[in-house]
Structure 1
Amino acid sequence: MKVIENGITAPKGFLAAGLAAGIKKGNKKDMAMVYSQKPCQTAGTFTTNVVKAAPVKWDKHLVDNAAYTQAIVCNSGIANACTGTEGYSYCQETAKTAAEALQIPEEAVLVASTGVIGQQLPIDILKEGVKKLVPVLSDSREAGILAAQSIMTTDTVRKECAVEMELSGAKVTIGGMCKGSGMIHPNMCTMLGFVTTDVQITKELLQEALSEIVQDTYNMISVDGDTSTNDTVLVLANGMAENPLISEKNQDYETFKEALLYVNTSLAKQIAADGEGATALFEVKITGAETKEQAVTLAKSVITSNLTKAAVFGHDANWGRILCAMGYSGAQFDPDKVDLFFESAAGKIQILKDGVAVDYSEEEATRILSEKQVTAAADIKLGKESAVAWGCDLTYDYVKINADYRS
């Protein structure tokens, strides 16, 4: 597998576009389109929130029932959530407008929205935006960048990833883009993730691979403990790499799945690192667990602890907060066996041995915790299972951003 400098337009046959349609104030980019020159097998995962936005319902119906899909239309600025039958009808109108412009079936058009909950979309502006996007669709790197920028809300940077691999002699590519900065919590989040690939694979195996991968990627990140109404991850596979069809779990499937895992892990970590107001990516590794479930529960508990996140912001090696978060997680372990380390690009330091603080340097710990990416690694010495979760520090700016979000 080779990581390449690209995004959503990296695989063969995929085009993209992004522009300012007028949904947001100030001529900000707010609409994107992704289009495949050939029909795609499609997989998707969606929010676990009982309150689901209209686009989530539309896309889930298509993923479950459409013969294929070929395009995605996404707007930022308004979430089209809690908008009733009118909001759902706007999904259909958007898809119909795109279908006519692209000359594809209406049920081949996926839609996505992100932004403020409870507002109706300005559908006339949205439809005009679709008509403007189609003529500028391109497979260029620049088009992919514009699309990635156009789906951002409070994100401070665009988020992309792409890789190449070889399957039975054929070069296959996976590209992706996502958005997410706030309302981010395990079991999906206010995040939209779009992944394209030119692999030939059955719909069933594509869905199985994505469903498994989501558990170790997007479901292992948290910014603020809020699970969104809109989160969606879609994977479109158009088969244009012309590799032998992956219809069973052979070596090609495992190689493809490994690459898909890499892309989605990268995108998930980019979301966590760009958490609203964040200054650092905070990674938690749990090793030595008896079961995977135990490791996941412990890692998530630490990554969602506001006290721990605040300590990371202050570059403070306040290890008691980590052990406390592990203790109330619901997972059973022996605190007298825990070894804890902090590490970053500045080095690695042991903080606890067998549940008791070692004689470490607070100055060195602060230096290690002052990097842009910091890790807390806990070995609970009960077994061989492990898990990794990602979050960010909790800063003053998080409150400022969310206090002023609608204004």
Structure 2
Amino acid sequence: MYLKRQSYIVIAIVAMLAFFSGAARAADVAIAGFAFAGEFSTAKTRFPYAFQVYKRLQAQAGAGSLSRQVTERIRQTQNPALSFMPSDALLNLRKSDQALMTVLLLTGETVSTENFGSYYKTFVNLRGDALIFDYKNQTVVRSYPISVALFDATPNEPSAERIDSFVEQMLLREDGKGLLTQFSNRLATATLPVPGHHNIQVRKAELAPEALAMMPEALRSHPKVLESMLADSFASILSAKSGVPVLPSSVGHAMGTMALRLENGDEYNLKLEEGHYLFDIRLNKFAKIKTAETKVGTSYVYGAYANVHFYEPTLNTDFLNTDLKNGEVAVVPAGLLASDDFAAFQDAVRGMFLKLNDAFETPDSKWAATAASAKDIVKQLEATRVILKASK
């Protein structure tokens, strides 16, 4: 009798587990492919190289369009919280109560070439969002910023074909430096928000005149592009390091909305709400200090100075508000008439953001103690860590 009763208990437990497992099943998300942010009619102007790649892959049936390649990558991605469905599921979603889609949204393309006497240095940066949105409500559900960058040196000015090949490689390469790979990596750990969740957003990014003056001439005349690069760089590192979704920044978008058109022609104007918690980033200045010189070359420390402010706007509560500094060492070979300071300054900024995000996990880090101006930096970092952890 005892064994029989035990059997009934085991069966009941198994049934309960099956019930709760089914109740917590993965949410269906249709793979919408690839899209350009903003009005599609101006995409060719705003993304000249990526748009050429986009059109060329559309015409190559064997290689597959960008949307097809995005779909193939994501269908191989495993996430227990999300069930990725093929694009033809979009037709079924139109009749459902919940209509979640995911798209690789390209938000920025920056290309700059400078002459340094004996060589040309080319900088390419692609920025995007691993976006999950609700088709029915036209709202952003989750957004994970992604960004890739490349520096190239050539004895002659690079041709349009060479830059085009860089952009294609940066989109498609299969390591962490490829935008499609970063997209699939973010979706592998993506979650859907629960009731009462709070959003993170980079509200503002700016460059002080002293910092702007150190940028390449081709970029100085486009300060809004530099602001978008700064916001996206910080947001992508924050999202990658902490796993926190970050709402699309209002930097570079029309206030309150974000337009996109899928490769199948469907157009959307998604509502952009303001985050519950906001970051403001200000890049104040750069510095270049010679530390050593030998027959081989000269060593410099390239420094970046910034202010990072993290706060809750409704109650005007600050969690983090401090100046930061970071230096990275670079060696300029002997005999080089001109050095490319921009690449080294970019390393200093990226290094600052990486170390700051490490400090969010380890508030008493040695780097933060020397890099931050705030006297109570450990307390500020701990407060930020708590908010970020609760916002995943």
On whether the aligned pair clears a TM of 0.5, the verdict is no
The answer to which structure has the higher strand fraction is 2
TM-score, normalisation: structure 1 = 0.30
Which structure ranks higher in relative contact order (CA pairs < 8 Å, sequence separation ≥ 6)? 1
TM-score, normalisation: structure 2 = 0.31
Greater C-alpha Rg? 2
